[in-house]
Chains A and B, each alone.
Chain A
Amino acid sequence: MQEYILHRLLLLIPTVLGVTLIVFLMMHFIPGDPVSLLLGDYYTQEVADAIHQEYGLDRPLHIQYLLWLKRMVTGDWGNSIIAKRPIFDDLIRRLPITVELVILAMSVALLIAIPAGILAALRPYSWHDYGAMTTALIGVSIPEFFMGVLLILGFALAWNILPAVGYVAPTQSVVGNLSHMILPAVTLALPRAALLTRLIRASMLEVVRLEYVTTARAKGVRERSVVLKHALKNALIPTVTVLGIQIGFLMGGAIVVETVFSVPGVGSFGVAAISLRDYPQVQAFVLLVSLSFVLSNLTVDILYAFLDPRIRYDKEID
């Protein structure tokens, strides 16, 4: 086990280096000199040269990368071009909002997907199987922003029971915070719930055919506990692997959903930075989101090894 975790942690090093390298190079691929963008109308050759020197932009590329990496690690993420504020502070202040959104969305998705997947698998090819599967298929085919629009139309405009857009800090009012977060979280959750329902149904169908389930039934275990204890536990294992990928989708989706609902999280920060062409902010945003994706994948992989001893064993062998 320890060996597997160590192996997985070592694999993290090339991934993080690769990701940071791409994020670093991104700035160099953007057409135009970043310094002239930074100075705008105040551009003079002397000032530009001075800034080049200060940030080490006159050095060779690999040295620049190392210097940049050092600044990133020490939390010096530079200042935004337009507001001239430290980017790191701005992002860290917004991070909890996006994390709350993603956690809420994941919980809602699982709360829908686990019962729906089990129900569909218990009576395959029945009407509630077809019902669940059709709903799930529509769910994976709907873009997040359209789902958001439909929810705003229904819950905010037609029935007027939830606020359409905006954000309230939980320190101000917990109820206000949740009532503002619920529509974005459900928007983000539904496509994920659809995908997970399909997955849980498929793996439940596979597991209930296995002999140990038959054995459990033959022993006279109650059906409820056969399904929930014996079958579900093993059926959920493949779901955990997909969770990692789903977290990536959630963070991608959060970018759009935060824009639709005006949630002041990391995603809307990124969108604003892109439309203002504030490239240092864009770079910081991309770095933060991609690194948190890498880390959540790591967590899921390690969790997976705890749940399924076979994986651990296979990976230790090679």
Chain B
Amino acid sequence: MERRALRPTRAKAQSLLALTWQQLCRSKTGIAGLIIVLLLLLVAALAEMLAPYSPTLTTRESLAFPSWEHPMGTDLLGRDVLSRIIHGSRVSVYVGVVSILLAIFAGIPLGTVAGFYGGWADNLIMRIMDVVMAFPIFLLAIVIMVILEPSTMNVVLALAIVRIPIMARIVRGSVLSVKEHEYIEAVKALAQTQVRVLGRHVLPNCLAPIIVTSTLNIGNAIIIEASLSFLGLGTQPPTPTWGWDLKQNLTLIELNPWITIFPGLAILFTVLAFNLLGDGLRDALDPRLKT
């Protein structure tokens, strides 16, 4: 009996995935985004093997222009810019993905409790979320970084905290709309426990907006991470980050503009890839939002 009960759920989950995949394949830009994102993950994972030099190796060749030896030139300390960009992808991708995952894990229970149970719990949670959202996101991230001291782990925490209200709101909204459906009524009539109703029947139907928002938010989180690094409030040297490198090379822009442009382009392409993928997923998962 137990196995039987499990099967339909699994089959449904697969078909949702398959359906999404089918829809996503129709959008060329979505697929392009997916490919770039996958390549980026690969670059981040294999940074040590791919980078031609060590990102912290200083040489006498200061501020060299792009050449065969150094395809993106060298910075003031003679470090290879390409190697620094390849290694810098680690921080960006890590911070972007992990902070959004943390925000989802915190936002789902908060939003579910607020939406499913309503009443004072809803009021309390959503009022606290309102106060957090009363700050501009970037300012709040700065405040948290000032309190926590700059480090990669703390950037992840700060970016997770600023996203929790957004995730909680989305989950609450979907739970509110899903819980009125008749099939939830039917499941309740079968006297299933509340946790089971929530986990099996309510939450899986809220997945689409969570996935779409998360993908689009990863791009934005990467921009904020780069901005924090740019202000010196993010990951600290010697770990290479795109934002900090851009800031360092900015003062040398007249001598060698290339070494400022390449880290910027790296950020641009990464964020663009996540946004393309997010747009593609939105069209695939939520036909209502299609314009």
B233 and A145 contacting across the interface, CB-CB below 8 Å: no
**9 A–B pairs (Cβ distance < 8 Å), ordered by A:** A26-B143, A26-B147, A141-B268, A143-B223, A145-B243, A256-B138, A259-B231, A274-B233, A293-B136
Q: How far is the CA of A70 from the CA of B143 in the complex (A)?
A: 22
B291 touches A256 (CB 8 A): no
* Apart from the given pairs A26-B143, A145-B227, A149-B253, 4 other A-B contacts in the complex at a CB distance below 8 Å: A18-B127, A143-B230, A152-B253, A260-B250
Task: Specify which chain A residues have a CB less than 8 angstroms from the CB of B47 in the assembled complex.
Answer: none
Residue A2 lies at the interface, judged by CB distance under 8 Å to chain B = no
B246 CB-CB contact with A under 8 Å? yes
B173 at the interface (CB under 8 A from A): no
Dominant SS among interface residues on chain B: helix
B253 touches A153 (CB 8 A): yes
Complex interface: chain A residues within 8 A of B78 (CB):
none
Q: Are B276 and A15 in contact (CB under 8 A)?
A: no
| B24 at interface, CB cutoff 8 A | no
Docked complex Cα distance between A149 and B143 (Å): 25
Query: Is A255 in the interface zone, CB < 8 Å from B?
Result: yes
B147 to A29, Cβ gap below 8 A? yes
Q: Select one of B138, B233, B250 contacting A149, CB under 8 A.
A: B250
**Interface membership of B197, Cβ < 8 A:** no
Cβ B268 vs Cβ A142 within 8 A: yes
> Which residue of B127, B143, B243, B257 is within 8 Å of A157 (Cβ)?
B257
Q: A29 to B271, alpha carbons, bound, how many Å?
A: 33
Task: Determine if A275 is an interface residue (Cβ-Cβ < 8 Å).
Answer: yes
Q: Give which listed residue, A22, A137, A153, A255, contacts B138 with CB less than 8 A.
A: A255
Q: Which residues of A contact B250 (CB under 8 A)?
A: 149, 260
Closest to A277 in B: B146
Would you give the 0/1 interface string for A148-167, flagging 1 where the beta carbon is closer than 8 Å to chain B?
01101100010000000000
CB distance A19 to B267 under 8 Å?
no
CA distance A274 to B131 in the complex (A): 23
Fill in one digit per residue for B133-153: 1 if any A CB lies within 8 Å of its CB, else 0: 011111100110011010000
Give the residues in chain B near A271, CB-CB below 8 Å.
231
Q: Does A190 contact B (CB under 8 A)?
A: no
Q: For the complex, is A249 an interface residue (Cβ under 8 Å from B)?
A: yes
B contacts, CB < 8 Å to A: 127-128, 130-131, 134-139, 142-143, 146-147, 149, 219, 223, 226-227, 230-233, 243, 246-247, 250, 253-254, 257, 260-261, 264, 267-268, 271-272, 275-276, 279, 291
Interchain CB contact under 8 A, A255 and B143? no
In this assembly, does A201 line the interface, its C-beta being within 8 Å of a C-beta of chain B? yes
Q: Is A251 an interface residue (CB 8 A)?
A: yes
Which of A15, A157, A256 lies in contact with B130, CB distance below 8 A? A15
Q: Which of A259, A260, A275, A290 contacts B135 (CB 8 A)?
A: A290
Is A301 an interface residue, CB under 8 A from the partner? no
Interface centre among B146, B243, B264 (most CB of A within 10 A): B146
Closest residue of chain A to B263 (Cβ to Cβ) is A146
Most chain A beta-carbon contacts within 10 A, residue among B147, B232, B279: B147
Q: A149-B260, A157-B254 are in contact. Are A286 and B267 (CB under 8 A)?
A: no
Contacts of B276 in A (CB 8 A): 137
Q: Say yes or no: B136 contacts A290, CB within 8 Å.
A: yes
Q: Kindly provide the distance from the CB of B248 to the nearest chain A CB, expressed in whole angstroms.
A: 12
Is A282 an interface residue, CB under 8 A from the partner?
yes
CB-based contact A15/B131 at 8 Å: yes
| Chain B residues, Cβ within 8 Å of A251 | 136, 139
Residues from chain B with Cβ under 8 Å of A14 in the complex: 127, 131
Per-position contact with B for A6-27: 1 when CB-CB < 8 Å, else 0?
A: 0000000011001100100010
CB of A19 within 8 A of CB of B268, answer no
Task: Kindly identify which residue among B128, B146, B243, B275 contacts A30, using a CB–CB cutoff of 8 Å.
Answer: B146
B139 A19 Cβ-Cβ under 8 A = no
Known contacts A29-B147, A30-B146, A140-B275, A19 near B135 by CB under 8 Å: yes
How far is B139's CA from A150's CA once the two chains are assembled, in angstroms? 24
Residue of B nearest to A23 (CB): B143
User: Residue A150 contacts which of B137, B264, B272 (CB distance < 8 angstroms)?
Assistant: B264
Given contacts A15-B130, A141-B219, A271-B231, contact A286 B139 (CB under 8 A): yes
A138 CB–B CB distance under 8 Å: yes
Bound together, the chains give a CA A19 to CA B132 distance in angstroms of: 8
**Interface set, chain A 218-257, CB cutoff 8 A to B:** 248-249, 251-253, 255-256
Query: In the assembly, what is the distance between CA of A260 and CA of B231, in Å?
Result: 10
Q: Are B264 and A149 in contact (CB under 8 A)?
A: yes
Q: Contact: A143 with B261, CB < 8 Å? A: no
Which residue of chain A is the closest to B226 with respect to CB atoms? A143
Is the CB of A202 closer than 8 A to any CB of chain B? yes
A252: chain B residues at CB < 8 Å are: 136-139
CB contact under 8 A between A146 and B264, given known A141-B219, A274-B146: yes
Return the contact of A146 from the options B127, B149, B267, B279 (Cβ within 8 A).
Answer: B267
The CA-CA distance from A256 to B136 in the complex, in Å, is 13
Residues of A within 8 A of B137 (CB): 248-249, 252
A15-B130, A142-B268, A146-B267 are contacts. A253–B146 as well, Cβ < 8 Å? no
